[in-house]
A and B are shown apart, each in its own frame.
Chain A
């Protein structure tokens, strides 16, 4: 998060994690939904789980909440081993993807539900519920039933309900999936604000990598029950440790070739007598297959030959107009198509390039990353 640049307990060997997931596996029959996964999450983190459908995100959350028991491995939350601890005995609350609001209870009673179970005094419950209603800006809706409010409001009730007990850990399973883009963005910032106000540790599951980048202090990218990379959003984006992560997060050009000379930068021989340079992303051996990963926004497009380290000539195959950006798809004679996105500084009618133009695309020798295949 931009305003918490100094916040990096994962780099501090002395910091005690709130959640320790140690070599946890979860098998359904002989299918491993979670496969030998180890992860530490620290207090006050906003931790995002990202990955394709079916990679085990929900399963991991359900194990943290106590709805599923790990088939192997250990789970420690706040120093306490969670083996055999029922969901109602954990200082963990979950906001369900379907919201799971109690249809027979009013908004007020939904939020009060967990507090009543704790046998809190009535006035204390009332204060807490009102505080929560204010937090999610639903003061006027306390008496309504869940079916009498909008989808976005329901989602905020679910959030308020899961926050009401001031859990040490809040699990959010695709909390914003049902919202439209604008409401989604507003709510993302609301979530971040709430997280800062309350100091709760959040673990959020999302399909939307932009959302993960916006809200998270760290992002974990999962594939088939395993963690592929756990890092800060900027490092996930700029320093992906594998082609899988690079391809999963954002738009990317992948140029395959073989590792040439290794030095400050790496040379990648990618076509007959042609090479590109980039930074090494991990250990590489000369001659091995590798991929140059370069983001479209780091590529410049020009009519005259530029002077940058990497430059290739091609023909514009397609232009995608996104309003603020235009994406040029440039077909190289060697085969690959390079995507290059450019901010639209001038109006559409005054665009410099058009279909079938011969152009140069170029990028610096540190803009791309060479990753072992």
Chain B
């Protein structure tokens, strides 16, 4: 019986991750073709063993080689990682004080604050990103407000710039930073800060020597939770970033839907996965260590 239950997650992983991954991997080593599906070779059981041999022989890595030849791709990867890293930093800067304030709030307020953090998830992600267009556009709410209040006279160009992408990513993934940081701050016994002060710390050094190290597991977890999805982000750069923002998610989308070059798109996806495996493995290791401690 127990074996059945442990088999379930593996079956899940197999059907929903390994099988699609296998398919994508296969397409990435195929060749572009003007047909349906838009790649060759396709697997044909009727041809028997010779068919299998011919099929395997037709596979090659030329799509991956292509990715190295056009500098669009490595630039897109690099800029994605950069944008994700900067966004993660910004999400930490914005999220840590929020999580800290939540952990300090009285028990009466805490559920309400928690609710507010989770509330955005109740609306479609897409609608929320569209809402940002309304806010950031030249005639959007933000510019209207700034002009009305006299801070600026000309509207700021925010939409279709990297700034808008940062705003969008930080806004979208902020709860993933706040929640783990809050969880680790909430676990902290407030007497620890008093003990630190009692032993000679100022408020600031008590924060640095006690609060920060104890919040670090949450900060690390939150950073991974923001960074990993942000690298492959597609919707935000394409809706808010315009043509000026290069991100691999957008490149992938264009290869797939505009160029209909499934093999190259698949190769892009495989490389993206390889890039993300490093932080994912690090994240898993970190979580395992936290659980052991």
Contact = CB atoms under 8 A, between A and B. Distances in A.
A23 B202 CA distance: 29
A165 B214 contact: no
Contacts of B214: 103-104
Given A87-B194, A117-B205, A165 B199 contact: yes
A113 B199 contact: yes
Nearest to A113: B199
Contacts of A71: none
Nearest to A92: B198
B197 A87 contact: yes
A161 B199 CA distance: 9
Interface in B223-257: none
Interface stretch (A94-102, A132-140, A185-193, A357-365): A94-102
Contact of A113 (B189, B196, B202): B196
A96 B200 contact: no
A102 B192 contact: yes
Given A98-B189, A103-B214, A104-B214, A117 B195 contact: no
Contacts of B189: 98, 100
A189 B214 CA distance: 35
B194 A165 contact: no
A285 interface: no
Contacts of B201: 88, 117
A114 B198 CA distance: 8
Contacts of B202: 86, 88
B213 A165 contact: no
A125 B197 CA distance: 19
A242 interface: no
B175 to A, nearest CB: 26
B191 interface: yes
Contacts of A145: 293
Nearest to A145: B293
B113 interface: no
Given A96-B191, A98-B189, A88 B213 contact: no
A67 B194 contact: yes
B200 A114 contact: yes
Interface of B: 189, 191-192, 194-202, 205, 209-210, 213-214, 293
29 contacts: A65-B194, A66-B197, A66-B198, A86-B197, A88-B197, A88-B198, A88-B201, A92-B198, A93-B199, A94-B198, A96-B194, A98-B189, A98-B191, A100-B189, A100-B191, A101-B195, A102-B192, A102-B210, A103-B214, A104-B213, A113-B199, A114-B200, A117-B199, A117-B201, A117-B205, A118-B200, A145-B293, A161-B199, A162-B198
